[in-house]
Amino acid sequence: MKNRLYILLLVTAAGQVGTLEKAYAWQMFYRTPVIEGHVVDSTTGQPIENAVLEVKWIINSYTGLEEHIKEAGDKIIITDKSGRYCIPTKTFGHMPLMIIGGSQFHHIEVSVLHPYSEAGGVWWNKTELKYLRKGYTGIYLDFSHLKKADREKCEIKVEDEIRLSGMKRDEYLKDRWVGYQVVLDGRYVNDTLRYDIKMVSLKEKNKEKDFCELPILKDSYFDAISKMGVHLDIDAMFKNIYKTLNEKYALHPEYSKVTQYIKEREIKITKIISDEKK
């Protein structure tokens, strides 16, 4: 009798699993697109070589009735001479079942580092990728989290407002329905999202400030460069920094303080690179 009961439980469990797989077969997996483009100077359009892209894939993870946002993968990418980068595709399980546990893709986020330029973070969530895949650009509204009836009411209201205003969609939406806005930039070619990242040179951004020609010397940038095996002429870089300091700021009241800081950074960065070579 015990043996028969045991076999019955196995069959029942297998049946339940099969039902779940059938119900969620269409969304068991989610694959992010390949994302590629160039990192360029926002003013000149010139490519930026050796920019460091820190890429993170983020998921929603469900445990019981709790939801957690967590990192599910990361990658360092260095731009080549043409400023080109390529973020590979990544596949995630897509089972957003809060009671029994599961997870789903949430977004991709990218931080860009370079000593002489800076850029804001870039990210794409699932909704933005969906709209971009359909060929949308500009400002669109996302009501997908609302109930169907509320969603339809909002969509109708927006279209009526745009029509009555006589304004172009992006112009009208710019300062309205802010909490629902999705700003789309980039374009799909086959299954690849093309997107150029624009960086602002520090010299241009801080042109009204003293020492605007000096680079940002972050440990994380040089650590990433070293780990990826990219050669930087550190001696030449610091030689140019000291030359700029001596030629332009030798009489500046902050000259000694800034020079001391640069010397400390040179020692630390040289150590980072030499440690990675060991």
Q: Which residues pair with 109 in a beta bridge?
A: 56, 123
Give the pLDDT score at 95: 67
CA distance 141 to 179: 9
Bridge partners, 184 (sequence order):
138
Could you please report the per-residue DSSP string of 227-249? HTT----HHHHHHHHHHHHHHHS
Where in the chain are all domains bearing CATH 2.60.40.1120? 24-137+185-205
pLDDT tens sequence across 120-143: 889 898 888 888 888 888 877 777
Q: Quick check: 177 and 157 in contact, CB under 8 A?
A: no
Q: What are phi and psi of 263, to 5 degrees?
A: -65, -40
Buried b (16+ CB within 10 A) or exposed e, 8-41: eeeeeeeeeeeeeeeeeeeeeebebbbbbbbbbb
Q: Looking at residue 278, what is its pLDDT?
A: 62
Q: Which segments in the chain show pLDDT lower than 70? A: 1-27, 64-65, 94-101, 276-278
What is the structure's pLDDT at 112? Answer: 97
Q: pTM higher than 0.75 for the full model?
A: yes
Q: Which CATH number fits domain 24-137+185-205: 2.60.40.1120, 1.20.58.2030, 1.10.10.10, 2.60.40.10?
A: 2.60.40.1120
